[in-house]
Amino acid sequence: MTLILGIESSCDETAASVVEDGLRIRSNVIASQHDLHERYGGVVPEIASRAHLERISPVIQEALGAAGVSLNNLDAISVGNRPGLIGSLLVGVNAAKAMAWAAGKPLIGVDHVRAHLYAGTMQADANATVNPAANETYPALGLVVSGGHSSLYELTSPLDMTLLGRTIDDAVGEAYDKAAVILDIGYPGGPKLDKLAQTGDGSDYDLPRSMLDKKSLDFSFSGLKTALLYTVRGKPQGRGRAARFERSADDLNDTQRANMAAAFQDAAIDVVMKKLNRAIDYLTDQARPPRSLLIGGGVSANSLLRSRAMALGVKRDIKVYLPPMSLCLDNAAMIAGLAHHCFINNQFDDLTLEARSTVSL
């Protein structure tokens, strides 16, 4: 059995969790900073790192306390060390190093994006006994849809994956956040837009679905975002800062706003679903059909994506892993969960572990 502490601080959530054997979540503490960033309409990196500094120790203490364990009971200390906001990552990485050094425990640096893909195979149930990740899951097709990523992967295990495609401009979560600014519906944009879209009818507005080349597994969302801007505000006169629009988001009535949100959501999720189908076809043609589909990242909380992914699973006869809602957004349970697989594969780090804002995969 392994008992691992996970620490996550890559963006604007300070989180810590204790996980047993990579699947039983003994505690999952998340301190969100949404209130601090709301007035700026997005995450302010300097504010985020300062808030992590204030919160990291109490959050870790709470996670250990809720799990009923002390530092001495742990087998390892894991931390999301890449990719993310560098100042934010540094707080978690330094906390993990200090604890690992003080308690003489192994240190494990975990890739945040890979951890999002692993989250779907974990269960919120503290008594889970069977890890679905071990059986009939791999090879898998992985989709990460978050504020920083829209990527497809082929996975042969929780730790081994190859990139199949990624966004060439905005990530899907980023597009949601920007669309919410265009529609002036507040922060955080993704969940608000999702909620509003569920009350609207998107059929009044025909927004583009960018599929790129016929066989491309890459994504592009910037055209959809611009099309929404023009739908909301009309075609601009002039260019750049001098551009003047025909109207503003204030001129929309509630029905128009909800219908535009629905049209955006239909188009964005349509593209994701088409690319998923394309990737399944591609891997099947290559004689490497995926046994399952792993979906992770903040946008995996999206209502339309969840329902359409489940329908795709039935249609394509493929098992679909969607994280429980508590593991969709940034959390440390997914970090501690994936760290279990590093642990059993003897993948440890030492105190030279670095925070890295980007990764090459």
Gap between the Cα atoms of 50 and 43, Å rounded: 12
Give the one entry of Zn ion, ligand KG4, none that residue 8 binds, where binding means its C-beta sits below a cut-off of 5 to 8 angstroms depending on kind: none
CB 216 to Zn ion: min, Å: 24
Please state, in angstroms and as integers, the Cα–Cα distance from residue 59 to each residue in 89, 90, 95, following that order.
15, 16, 11
If one asks whether residue 146 binds Zn ion (CB under 5 A), the answer comes out as yes
Structure tokens at 74: 């742990």
Closest approach of Cβ 179 to Zn ion, in Å? 19
| Angle, CA of 347, 353 and 357, to the nearest 5° | 110
- Is position 6 an interface residue for ligand KG4 (rule: CB under 6 A)? no
Rounded to a whole number of angstroms, the minimum distance from the CB of residue 338 to Zn ion is 13
The SS3 assignment for 139 reads: coil
Q: Does 194 bind Zn ion (CB under 5 A)?
A: no
Parallel/antiparallel/unpaired status of strands 140-145 and 150-155: antiparallel
Residues 169-228 that bind ligand KG4 (CB under 6 A): 173-174, 176-177, 188-191, 194
Q: How far is the CB of 138 from ligand KG4 (least distance, A)?
A: 22
| Binding of residue 330 to Zn ion (CB under 5 A) | yes
Q: Which of 299, 309, 334, 338 binds ligand KG4 (CB under 6 A)?
A: 299
Q: Using the rule CB under 6 A, is 337 a contact of ligand KG4?
A: no
Nearest in space to 212 (alpha carbons), one of 154, 153, 275 = 275
9 binds ligand KG4 (CB under 6 A): no
Per DSSP, the three-state class of 80 is: strand
Q: Which of residues 124-143 bind ligand KG4 (CB under 6 A)?
A: none
Shortest Cβ 12–ligand KG4 spacing (Å): 8
CB of 60 to ligand KG4, least distance (A): 20
Work out whether 146 is an interface residue with ligand KG4 (CB under 6 A): yes
297 lies in the site for ligand KG4, by CB under 6 A: yes
Task: Give which of ligand KG4, Zn ion, none residue 190 binds (C-beta under 5 to 8 Å, depending on kind).
Answer: ligand KG4
- Looking at the Cβ atoms of 106 and 148, the one nearer to Zn ion is 148
**Among 165, 125, 128, 129, which Cα is nearest to 144's?**
165
Q: What phi, psi does 200 have (nearest 5°)?
A: -110, 180
CB atoms within 10 A of CB 252: 18
Task: Please state, in angstroms and as integers, the Cα–Cα distance from residue 207 to each residue in 70, 202, 219, 226, 302, following that order.
Answer: 54, 9, 16, 10, 19
Q: Which one of Zn ion, ligand KG4, none is in contact with 323 (Cβ closer than 5 to 8 A by kind)?
A: none
Q: Which residues bind Zn ion (CB under 5 A)?
A: 146, 330
